[in-house]
Structure 1
Amino acid sequence: MKKLLVVTLLFLAYNSVGYSQTKNKKPNIILIFIDDMGWADLSSFGNTDAQTPNIDKIAREGISFEQFYVNSPICSPSRVAISTGTYPQRWNITSYLDNRKQNEVRDIANWLDPSAPMLARNLQQAGYSTGHFGKWHMGGQRDVTEAPPITAYGFDKSLTNFEGMGPKLLPMTKDETGKIGKIWENAEILGEGYIWMQRSEITTGFVDAALDFISKASEEDQPFYVNLWPDDVHSPYWPPFEEYGLAKEEGKRALYLAVLEAMDQQMGKLFEYIQSEEKLKENTLILFCSDNGPELGAGSAGDLKGYKTHLYDGGIRSSLIVWGPGFIDPSAAGSRNKESVFSAIDITPSLLAFTESPETSMTDGENVMQTILGKSKASRQAPIFYSRPPDRKNYYGLENLPDLAVREGEWKLLCDYDGGRPELYNMSRDRGETKNLADENPKIVKRLMDKVISWYAGMP
């Protein structure tokens, strides 16, 4: 009996070790950032028109979060936020980065300031191998040829697409007749080190590069941080050749769904590898989400209002899945967290705490790691603030869109820069933002309006 008690106490002591350690090794991190995927596009989030079995499997073994927000409804600023833990407005990146002339017209930067705090850099300094595989879109695109390379932001290795500086995979196309084409052929001006391959296979190219990187880090017994940010499921939609012709006949959404299913299949290779290697399975945390809402007529945000570029939840709420059997609370495995509200800027401080790495010099985020691991239902304490992309006042058939938004607790306010035309929604009762309660709650409107206007005025 005494021996059994000792064994039991040792077991309990081992399993109470802090979440930053598994077998005394720093945890591996994989951040998967899908492009333009809607909140309801995964079959585990309600899509009945397409199946995503590989992603659904990690959802069954992990935690799905229903109230996770990215920090912009459009690509580049959303990527800045999750990379830095800060609002992208601080770096003057408030819309997607385009050619030099268009960036100047919209008064936005041509690339992210390399001095910005970076999750990857802090992890690199803490001894991690760091790799970025996929879309970058934070500098180096179109005719912006002198942007810093991705490795200047804290990455040891990178492989990107036509919107980043460094080695690239560039997209070729093949239509139903067998005709071959190229997308963004001028991307060759961004430097040497590119390979042209079929658009429908590029996710596999990024996955293979990430797996090679992970394998080498594992062999060297070194912790790794990997960004896997595919082009999928962004338009133009080029599913595998054998599916393209039929999907094209059925229309835009059919093309999109075919790309979505192909993306899931290609991602399956990564998941299978991590799950089959015991030391990786028990010491790797995967976070999976999208950079913003769906393109009109393609993906779906379910009953959420709005699309990509909108400050309504359809543009900024993302389906987050966290997988890591060695770290998440076993009782939370396979669960759905419908209560906790937090955002992409919270990922950086959370992961730095999780890995016991130095904090960044600046952050707008909060450490919500206990929530991410299913050990708490706490939400972010501070409000989440938004400003719309400057070139998207009218978009996707909606005119005179709100300029600002703030989510605090159960309330969400949208208004113009001067506070005009307020819209107030109770998100716990009306996540579809169907009933404007502004007239009934003037005090709440005033409080939230003052906060979001003050926040915006404080941005560069």
Structure 2
Amino acid sequence: MRNIFRVLLFLQLLTALGHAESSKPNIITVFIDDMGWSDLSCYGGKVIQTKNIDTLASEGLRFTNFYVNSPICSPSRVALTTGQYPQRWKITSYLARRKANRERGLAQWLDPAAPVLARQLNQAGYATGHFGKWHMGGQRDVGNAPLITKYGFDRSLTNFEGLGPRVLPLKNAYDGKPPKKHDLGSADLGKGPIYWEDRSVVTAAFVKDALKFIDHAEATGQPFFLNLWPDDVHSPFFPPEVLRDASDESKRALYYAVLEAMDQQLGLLFDRVRNDERLKNNTLILIASDNGPEEGAGLADPLRGAKTWLYEGGVRSPLIVWGPGLVNPAAAGATNTKSILSALDINRSLYTLTGTNLPSGVTLDGEDLAETLLGKSESGRHAPIFWRRPPDRPGTKEQPNPDLSVRAGKWKFYVNYDGNGVQLYDLDVDVSETQNRADDHPEIVARLKQAVFDWNRDLPADAGDPAWRPAAKK
């Protein structure tokens, strides 16, 4: 009898521990590729209706002063993944072939020693999955990069910008010609099972695997952390046939057809969470774009600039936070226009929201704005947000891309490495950055110039800096 009592007590303890574990919130990050500030209809887009994303926005919280930490894909993803400026890890532009990476002063992949949120969550009992674009190593001819699972993910499915299981696209223009493979060398790298899918439904493939991952986490009683990072709406643009036929097949029209298809395909993921009471009340979904739109495709009105540019159109992103059981009910459907925050801060805040210990021995660049993400505060980031342009994106002679930039309060400041090209804009009244106020505020110029130079000086240089020199060959 005593043994039976002990067994029952042990089972009760296991059940209690399971409930405690499952009370931790589930986290889903949706990091869209190359989407513009004003492309979503809930952010004023007028070309198409993004109905599924709009639904989450109407039930959640929108932010209008959210920034990514680079105007181009790989470094932007590093910032969200690590909570540190990507310059720390020598990833300051998109990762490409080995030779191109070396010539630009880039690492070949994200060092697994970097502090990765997924790893910390995994060690805290979370099921962790990455489904979608990676682009932090394992692309083109870099076949010896670490697998995604080396960064703390239990499961992964990516595209040609990473290793491990991956789905590679077939470009079908529905013109009677056979679809063309588009893998940029990934199919030759091995390191994981590969299957081919029509380009128009690659996001659906990521969603399908993500749903299986959620089902498994639910069955085992684990909280989950899920990256759903589509490579839509990055070019090349190959929408489903019905949407292609409804367009004039211009670059912009095809882009928006892809955006509409992506929204439809993401809807299956959103509905899975919204229609399950337990998930609905204990899941936080965050939606953003990794950088501004490709020029000639998406739109960033009324912002200046686009992808690769340090101007607002390159780095200001929509941010939607949804979670009916977690977000302040009074904030549902509201728009936060006051809080200035960045992807670094999302990373740091998720440690607090999940009750997860910070990685030891490192300093994160993000700030804890968990209360702001949940609509319980309008506090913003205290420290400035700094940027360095990608080394291979100098702009043009007529319109150069500034080398360095900083957002501090209402001010956005730009300067080149040599101290020239000074620009200062008051974003409270000039979000389009049309009136350079540098001559009117020399004291602010001096303060922000010193701040951004100090920040940049302490980080590894890249080939955009005239003082940079390639490492000597061993």
Secondary structure at 1:439 match in 2: helix
Secondary structure at 1:321 match in 2: strand
- Residues 1:328 and 2:296 aligned together: no
After the TM superposition, which residues 37-436 of structure 1 pair with which residues of structure 2 at under 5 Å, given as runs?
Answer: 37-179=35-177, 180-184=179-183, 186-191=185-190, 192-247=192-247, 249-360=248-359, 361-394=362-395, 399-436=399-436
**Residue identity matched to 1:73:** P
Query: Would the alpha carbon gap of residues 441 and 117 (structure 1) be closer, same or farther in structure 2, given more than 3 Å must change?
Result: same
Q: 2:368, 2:391 → 1: CA distance?
A: 30
Residues 22 and 282 in structure 1, CA contact (< 8 A), matched pair in contact too:
no
By how many angstroms is 1:22 displaced? 9.3
Q: 2:132, 2:47 → 1: CA distance?
A: 27
**Residue identity matched to 2:258:** V
Residues 64 and 337 in structure 2, CA contact (< 8 A), matched pair in contact too:
yes
Q: 2:22, 2:158 → 1: CA distance?
A: 33
Residues 160 and 167 in structure 1, CA contact (< 8 A), matched pair in contact too:
yes
Residues 117 and 362 in structure 1, CA contact (< 8 A), matched pair in contact too:
no
Query: Would the alpha carbon gap of residues 98 and 432 (structure 1) be closer, same or farther in structure 2, given more than 3 Å must change?
Result: same
**Residue identity matched to 1:35:** D
By how many angstroms is 1:401 displaced? 1.6
Residues 290 and 319 in structure 1, CA contact (< 8 A), matched pair in contact too:
yes
**Residue identity matched to 2:393:** R
Residues 25 and 284 in structure 2, CA contact (< 8 A), matched pair in contact too:
yes
Secondary structure at 2:65 match in 1: strand
Q: 2:447, 2:144 → 1: CA distance?
A: 44
Q: 1:302, 1:22 → 2: CA distance?
A: 46
TM-score (norm 2): 0.91
By how many angstroms is 1:23 displaced? 9.9
Query: Would the alpha carbon gap of residues 24 and 358 (structure 1) be closer, same or farther in structure 2, given more than 3 Å must change?
Result: same
Comparing 180-189 and 221-230, the one that deviates more = 180-189
Could you tell me which runs of 5 or more consecutive residues in structure 2 were left unpaired when the two chains were aligned.
1-18, 461-474
**Residue identity matched to 1:340:** S
Q: 1:178, 1:110 → 2: CA distance?
A: 39
Q: 1:178, 1:25 → 2: CA distance?
A: 53
Instruction: Show CA shifts across 1:384-433 (max 9, x none).
Output: 000000000025x8632210000011111001013212100111111111
By how many angstroms is 1:243 displaced? 2.6
Q: 2:336, 2:242 → 1: CA distance?
A: 38
- Residues 1:26 and 2:15 aligned together: no
Q: 2:116, 2:176 → 1: CA distance?
A: 43
Secondary structure at 1:273 match in 2: helix
Q: 1:112, 1:210 → 2: CA distance?
A: 23
By how many angstroms is 1:220 displaced? 1.0
TM-score (norm 1): 0.93
By how many angstroms is 1:186 displaced? 2.5
By how many angstroms is 1:250 displaced? 4.2
Query: Would the alpha carbon gap of residues 127 and 47 (structure 1) be closer, same or farther in structure 2, given more than 3 Å must change?
Result: same
Instruction: Show CA shifts across 1:228-284 (max 9, x none).
Output: 00110000000002332453x341110001000000000100111101111000000
Could you tell me which runs of 5 or more consecutive residues in structure 1 were left unpaired when the two chains were aligned.
1-20
| Runs of 4 or more consecutive aligned structure 1 residues displaced over 4 Å after TM superposition | 21-24
Instruction: Show CA shifts across 1:341-366 (max 9, x none).
Output: 00001111100011110112330000
Residues 22 and 283 in structure 1, CA contact (< 8 A), matched pair in contact too:
no
Secondary structure at 2:307 match in 1: coil
RMSD: 1.4
Instruction: Show CA shifts across 1:174-217 (max 9, x none).
Output: 11323211112631122140010000001000001001001110
Percent same amino acid at aligned positions? 56
**Residue identity matched to 2:424:** L
Q: 2:280, 2:64 → 1: CA distance?
A: 25
Q: 1:155, 1:443 → 2: CA distance?
A: 47
Residues 404 and 414 in structure 1, CA contact (< 8 A), matched pair in contact too:
yes
Query: Would the alpha carbon gap of residues 22 and 328 (structure 1) be closer, same or farther in structure 2, given more than 3 Å must change?
Result: farther
Comparing 88-97 and 170-179, the one that deviates more = 170-179
